[in-house]
Amino acid sequence: MNLDLNQLPSTQFASQEDFDRLGKGAGFLSRLQLYTKGTAVNKRLIGPGEYGIPEGEDTILVLGDSIDVLPLTRRPKAIDMSDKEAIITSYDAQSDTFKDIAARAGGKDSGCMYGISFLVIERTTGQFLEFFCGTKSTRPEAGKIAPFLPLSSADIERLAAAGNDVSKMEPHGPLPMTLKSKLVEKGTYSWHVPIVLKCSTPFSKMPKEADIYAEVAKFVTARGSEVETEPAPVADTKKRRR
């Protein structure tokens, strides 16, 4: 049967950005990850010292060893991945759940991590991503990211009330920054850590303003303790950003 379907109506009833957003599935926030060792590196899906976005069981979007991000906000986070079928997260640093996970995080193969989680926009993709400084080697870097976060007049007043020197502080929105990586070697062990630098490259691919405010609100109001049933992505293939 020969059919000529070239005259079908256009399928573009919304913007491509809307279709991309709606096609991302259940709405889980994608992760930005610095890879150093592990299965993905061993299988040559991504190089050590490179940043990537695990997109599912068979895909990693490889961003490279230098990326630009715009940090929007932050929250405490502790995660227990010892049971892959019931991953436990806590965003309340004062909760018993958070403290328990943090206490177990130093144990060998505990599956537990804790630290500071950042909501960022990656420049080349325009995606909202979570960058989690949740290991012993990445937690110290969280303090270097903080100055790039938005700073309001109310924030400055709170810092002043706590006894901090705010004489050189002025309110500002989120500031772009560059993330690179550095190899740390101690004895027979080696691993990569993030390096935070200033960025002067313009961000031209940005989400809509309303979407940014909505994503920030969702990020900072996440429940204090919950079980996430989304399995941790295990990538088997890779692709690179364009």
Concatenate the DSSP letters of all residues of 93-136 into one string. Answer: TTSHHHHHHHHHTTSTT--EEEEEEEEEEETTT--EEEEEE-ST
pLDDT at 25: 45
Task: Determine the structural domain holding residue 112 and report its residue range.
Answer: 25-158+170-240
Does residue 184 belong to any structural domain of this protein? yes
Q: What is the pTM of this model?
A: 0.81
- Tokens (6 digits) for 107: 């144990």
> Sorting pLDDT into bands at 50, 70 and 90, what band is 238?
low
Cα 96–99–101 angle (5° rounding)?
Answer: 110
Query: CA-CA-CA-CA torsion for 161, 75, 122, 215, nearest 10 degrees?
Result: -100
C-alpha span between 46 and 156 (Å, rounded): 41
- Tokens (6 digits) for 51: 């940043």
pLDDT at 166: 87
**Pairing status of strand 189-198 against strand 177-186:** antiparallel
Residue 234 has pLDDT above 50, yes or no: no
C-alpha span between 89 and 160 (Å, rounded): 32
C-alpha span between 65 and 191 (Å, rounded): 14
Are 58 and 111 within 8 A, CB to CB?
A: no
Dihedral sign, CA of 42, 45, 51, 53? negative
Does residue 3 belong to any structural domain of this protein? no
Does residue 210 belong to any structural domain of this protein? yes
> Sorting pLDDT into bands at 50, 70 and 90, what band is 31?
very high
Does residue 19 belong to any structural domain of this protein? no
pLDDT at 3: 56
Does residue 10 belong to any structural domain of this protein? no
What is the rounded average pLDDT of the residues 208-226? 86
pLDDT at 96: 92
Total count of domains within the chain:
1
Does residue 189 belong to any structural domain of this protein? yes
pLDDT at 83: 86
pLDDT: is 12 or 74 the higher one? 74
pLDDT digits (tens, 9 = 90+) for 164-187: 998 889 999 999 999 999 999 988
C-alpha span between 125 and 240 (Å, rounded): 11
Does residue 54 belong to any structural domain of this protein? yes
pLDDT at 59: 82
pLDDT digits (tens, 9 = 90+) for 84-116: 888 899 999 999 999 999 999 988 788 899 999
Does residue 230 belong to any structural domain of this protein? yes
